[in-house]
Amino acid sequence: MARRLGPPLYGKRYCGNIKKMEVHDLDKEDTSESGCQIDEIIAAGHAITFDPDTLEQAHREGYDNCAKCIGESRR
């Protein structure tokens, strides 16, 4: 899947799900039926981006890796 250029992600690589405290890599998004479901996260108002747009920043903010697109979930 491609990065989403419009709100709320504005082309960022990493998307956080504030409900599950999980970070997704949009360059590696799993678009299968049981995958990341980024469009649903956005529609529910649970999407957040990170500044700077890095995995390390997401981890500093307490987000865990998505097991599907990043792997090595700490849960």
The whole-number pLDDT of residue 74 equals: 78
With a cut of 90, say whether residue 52 has pLDDT above it.
yes
Residue for token pair 């997401």: 58
pLDDT category at 14 given cuts 50, 70, 90 is very high
Band (32; pLDDT cuts 50, 70, 90):
very high
Q: How confident is the model at residue 2 (pLDDT cuts 50, 70, 90)?
A: confident
